[in-house]
Amino acid sequence: MAQLENCILLELWETVLERFPKTFMQLQSADLDLDEAVAHLESLMNYTTTLTDSFHDFEEKKQLKDGADNLVQQYPYDLETSLAEELVHFREHFKGKNLPRKEDALDDSDEAVSVELQMYRIHAKREIDEVFPTSILPCEFI
C-alpha cells in the first residue's frame, strides 16, 4: 500500500511543482494589480481541487506503470526501461478516441474488430511508430 501512495504522491507533486512556481513568479511581478493576483490565486485553488478530483486517474497510471514494469522485469533484453512512461503517453494519446468495441457490434463488419487491432491500425496509418516505437505490442499484455 505504501508503494501505491508513493507513486500517487510522486505523480501529484510532479504536476503541482510544475504549476506553483509559474504562478508565484507571476504573483511577484511588480506591475501586478489586485484583480490579477486574485485571479491567479483562484486559478491555483481550482487547479488543486481538480487534482483532488482526478485521484482515479493517478491510480490508473500507477496500475499501467506497474504492469509495464513487470513486463520489463520479465523481458529485460527485449523491452526498454522507458516502456512505462511511453505507455502512459500512448494511453493518453488514444484516450477519448471512442473506438467502437467488438462486443458492441451487431455484425462482423470491419468496424467490429478488437480495440487492440484498431489501435494498431491507427498507429500504422498515422505513422506514429517513431513517437511510440515499443508501445503497441506490450499493450496487449498489460
As a three-state string, the secondary structure of 83-132 is HHHHHHHHHHHHCCCCCCCHHHCCCCCCCCCCHHHHHHHHHHHCCCCCCC
Identify whether 142 is part of a domain.
no
Can you state the percent helix, strand and coil of the chain, rounding each to 5? Answer: 70, 0, 30
Examine the domain organization and report whether 34 and 90 are in the same domain. Answer: yes
Examine the domain organization and report whether 119 and 66 are in the same domain. Answer: no
What pLDDT, on a 0 to 100 scale, did the predictor assign at position 113?
A: 60
Domain extent, residue 120, equals 99-136
Examine the domain organization and report whether 109 and 58 are in the same domain. Answer: no
Q: What is the pLDDT along the chain (142 residues), one digit of tens a residue?
A: 566 667 667 777 777 777 778 788 888 888 888 888 888 888 888 887 887 777 777 777 788 888 888 888 888 888 888 878 777 777 776 665 555 555 555 455 555 566 666 666 666 665 555 555 555 554 544 4
Examine the domain organization and report whether 87 and 109 are in the same domain. Answer: no
Angle at alpha carbon of residue 120, lines to 119 and 125, rounded to 5°? 100
Q: How many domains does the chain have?
A: 2
Examine the domain organization and report whether 25 and 62 are in the same domain. Answer: yes
Examine the domain organization and report whether 120 and 90 are in the same domain. Answer: no
What pLDDT, on a 0 to 100 scale, did the predictor assign at position 106?
A: 47
Examine the domain organization and report whether 75 and 107 are in the same domain. Answer: no
Examine the domain organization and report whether 92 and 127 are in the same domain. Answer: no
Examine the domain organization and report whether 90 and 103 are in the same domain. Answer: no
Whether residue 136 contacts residue 123, with contact meaning beta carbons closer than 8 Å, is answered with yes
What pLDDT, on a 0 to 100 scale, did the predictor assign at position 55?
A: 74
